[in-house]
Chain A
Amino acid sequence: MVSLSKRTALCRWFQAGLTVLVCLCTTGCWDSLEIEQRAMVLGLSVDIAQVPSDDSHFATERNTGNASESPRPLQVQGRPESEAATARATAKETARMPIRLTAQIPIPGRIPLGPGESGGGGANNPSQSVWVVHSTGETVTEALQCLQQQVADPLFFGHLRVIVVSREFAQKRGLSDLMDYLRRNPQVRRTLWILVSEHEAAKLLATAPPLKRVPTLYLISTMDQAIRLGKFPTEFLGVAESKVVMKGRDMVLPYVDVQHGETMLLQGMAFFRDYRLAGVVTGIPGVYTYMELCGIRQGGIVDRAQLPGGSWVVLQSYRRRRSIRLQMVQDQPVFDVYVHIDFHIHQTSGDPLNLSNPATLRLIERRESEKIISAQKDLIRRTQQAGSDIVGFGEFVRAYRPGWWDAHIQTKDRWREVYKTLPVHLHVKSRVRVYGMRAR
């Protein structure tokens, strides 16, 4: 019995050994690549190259805060209709618009390990801890290949957190091929942010406030904090990818700009029609209105309500609820959007105002509601003109009236036509909850 069990045990070990041996012999460390041998691309910027003819134009520079002045970017200030018109650019046009990529790669030795200040030199200046490389190419892949030729280590996109796209690029060329590349590449994360920059994207990527060790991480923390403070909805790449292919919805992306040459300003959002930028909403109320209509619970934006008699109140929303009612009137969808917002009052214009009076509070609430409704109307009108259903009314129709949808709509283009004249009735109810430590 012992001999038998011994034999089988020997067999088993022989097999285990064989397994390991085969592993070792048939394989090498094909995919092993040390972390410091990867050129970790933390941020990318995509512009339309100004000098398309010069294909072999490599520009490598150490970014030292006062980056070399690039040609002045195009200022595109058009009405949404014309923007939509330019969006219908042909493939031929695309070919004439080469891409200019800028990559931000951290320099390993420059970024200290651990919380202390003891590290390599340049730890105090975040802009010196990264290496900025430029390249151009007809497509993203070609541009990246061109980039790879300048960087010895293989580029690694596992930690790619931000792609800044210039408004010009998003408008003229569209994000279709860029997003296709991002979908295909297994290294790219879906929590990546695509930011649309008003001016040159490369410049935005180089903004380096001394708050973080790596400039890109500053951009990321800007976005993360914006979400936490209720300044912006969660619209990272994965969300945008889902929305852009939905039949009854379009994507929005954050719209940013450089301010004073060194900080990033989150100034609004860009809305898209398919993969092309269809317009931008700037200013706090625009984003705020979008978040209301989408029913994002987290509030946080401060707003000032003007009261009759010259006094005013500063309100901060902290919670919202939204419900949407869809009715079919004469076989056409009609929407009622009910938004309920809770406010804190942060500041008033001063003494004559008595908040402990319920009538005053009601007045404030009514004023604020009116203001919000007008902002919402404005947003819906603009998106209707652009044919970009960012709130996703179409999704509601598809979800709750599938019979009608299947009979009349079916495609995104047809929904877009319907959306342009879609009646949306807005109902806003504001509620002031508390007004701070002051009793009146």
Chain B
Amino acid sequence: MTLISSVLGTIGAAVMGALAAVGRVVIFALNTVSHLLRPPFYWREFLAALVQIGWLSLPVVGLTALFTGGALALQIYAGGSRFNAEAVVPSIVAIGMVRELGPVLGGLMVAARVASSIAAEIGTMKVTEQIDAMVTLSTDPMKYLTLPRVLAATVSVPLLVAVGDAIGIMGGYMVGTTRLGFNPAVYLQNTADFLETWDVVSGMIKGAAFGFIVALMGCYHGMQSGRGAQGVGAATKSAVVAASVLILAANYLLTEVFFAA
């Protein structure tokens, strides 16, 4: 009996702890969004975050998309040849990149690059009392640090996804035309014929959601950072892990909403 109650107690404590953590993140997110409606808004910090998160992530997202598009073309060609469906390579590459791989891989690459850097920066500011100093200087850290980063990521990641989609399709085109013997004009025509506006838009909506998640996790874990180098390290790790898992979970949910029959 004691053993059962002990096990149940442990499970209950873990569930309560998890629910409390979810609650804290939701409150943090709502608090962040509420600052959109309450001035002041720090434009300079927003523009700086836009450059850091959007512009400087372009190389890593672009390279990821390029190689993924190429690999996808090879895989679809190899798989499709088993039932004489090699011709679907252009359309499947385009749809696969735009609906799934572009947003998800772009989001994960941004999570690795941006969530870690935001969490480390804000975590270091916390342990060196810079956040406290900001408060004593009558500046709300949620307004000055969190909102500009979250907003910049929500705006810039969809654009990164769109550019990544184009580069990914280009990767498939390069492999398709140089290695798999596709006619360049036919490849492009097939891509255009099978791609619908909603495919692109849905991918960009996913990108916006993933951008929001990435910056929110970076800021949240940075603000919750423990003391010292170990605390900042743990915050950085938690931010990347949480952002990555939430991106994959959100991707499933959004796909269910957008494309479930």
Chain B associates with chain A: no
Which chain B residues have a beta carbon within 8 Å of chain A's beta carbons? none
A-side residues, CB < 8 A to B, are none
